[in-house]
Amino acid sequence: MSEFRIKPFLKWAGGKRWLTSAGVLPAAGRYERYIEPFLGSAAVYFHLLPKAAILSDLNDDLIHLFRTIRSDPATFRAAMEEHQRQHCSQHYYAVRSSDPVDPISRAARFLYLNRTCWNGLYRVNLKGEFNVPIGTKDSVLFPDDNFHAVAAALAGAELISSDFERVIDRSKQGDLVFVDPPYTVRHNFNGFLKYNESIFSWADQVRLAECVTAAVARGAAVIVTNANHESVQELYKDAFMYREIKRASVLAANSAKRGPTTEAIFSANIQTPTPPRLPHG
């Protein structure tokens, strides 16, 4: 049986599907509200399915997609079925260059491009235009797509497009805050990290650490996933527990080059046993 109560419908670089089976997430029922400021594919949310939640992302088109599916899953599915009928290279690039105003068309464009672009990568140019080439996948709709179930799962969630700080600042005792930012580290701007630096800088990493530390002081339970790097560990060493998690890398385009990697998990005020504190250097 799948570990998801609702299967995530987006493919998202850095997504946390793997984390749901790692045994580090607490039961959502122990908390009054769930808060996630870097929503992405919402894998952790769909795994936990809390009764109340604030779900946010700075990507306005992403939040619009979730809102649209919640409000009108049937019409949204019909739009996706039309993309399936028309899918080809010419259609892909026509959709990629389009800028629909209609809410359903705008949301369907986002998911269509996500499912048919190269490696499911979300990337925009300096003008904010999606610029990923077409991929090798031909499926626009999957047999297990259930947008009505997704809509029902989102019924108790507040969906907002916002910077992470404004969202985390709303947290208080009784909340569970799950934070999964882009993995930017200090003095390392190679490959995928260089791309992340353009959307989430080291200054943002520092600001995030200060923000979640304040949330912990207010009594909120916080889990942060991040790069397992000394510069990041230093940011969280005073208020958080540290744990190294091993997993398979999925960032390389060639699957043969995807070796094991590690990620860091920092937690505080969690109502489950936690590993020892990160030792001070």
pLDDT digits (tens, 9 = 90+) for 54-67: 999 999 999 999 99
- On the question of pLDDT at 40 being above 60, the answer is yes
pLDDT at 263: 93
Q: Which of 27-41, 84-98, 187-201 has the lowest mean pLDDT?
A: 187-201
For the stretch 119-130, pLDDT in tens is 888 888 878 889
Higher per-residue pLDDT: 132 or 272:
132
Other CB atoms within 10 A of residue 177 CB: 27
Domains and CATH numbers, the chain: 18-58+162-268 (3.40.50.150), 65-136+143-147 (1.10.1020.10)
Average pLDDT, the chain: 88
Asked if 176 contacts 34 with a C-beta cutoff of 8 angstroms, the reply is yes
- pLDDT higher than threshold 70 for residue 221: yes
Confidence of residue 2 (pLDDT cuts 50, 70, 90): very low
Say which amino acid occupies 163: D
Q: What's the pLDDT score for residue 208? A: 98
The Cα-based distances of 278 to 68, 149, 185, 225 in angstroms read 42, 40, 18, 14
pLDDT at 16 > cutoff 90? no
Q: Which two tokens stand for residue 105?
A: 């068309």
Tell me the mean pLDDT in the region 21-46: 92
Give the residue-averaged pLDDT of 237-255. Answer: 76
158 pLDDT higher than 90: yes
What is the DSSP code string of the chain?
Answer: --S-SS------TT--TGGGGTT-PPPGGGSSEEEESS-TT-HHHHHH--SSEEEEES-HHHHHHHHHHHH-HHHHHHHHHHHHHH-SHHHHHHHHT----SHHHHHHHHHHHHHHBGGG---B-TTS-B-PPB-S---SS-TT--HHHHHHHTTTEEEEE--HHHHHTT--TTEEEEE-----BTTB--HHHHHHHHHS-HHHHHHHHHHHHHHHHTT-EEEEEEE--HHHHHHHTTT-EEEEEEEE---SSSGGG--EEEEEEEEES-SS--PPBPPP-
Measured between alpha carbons, how far is 35 from 1 in angstroms, rounded to an integer? 26
Query: Would the pTM count as exceeding 0.75?
Result: yes
Whether 194 shows a pLDDT value over 50: the answer reads no
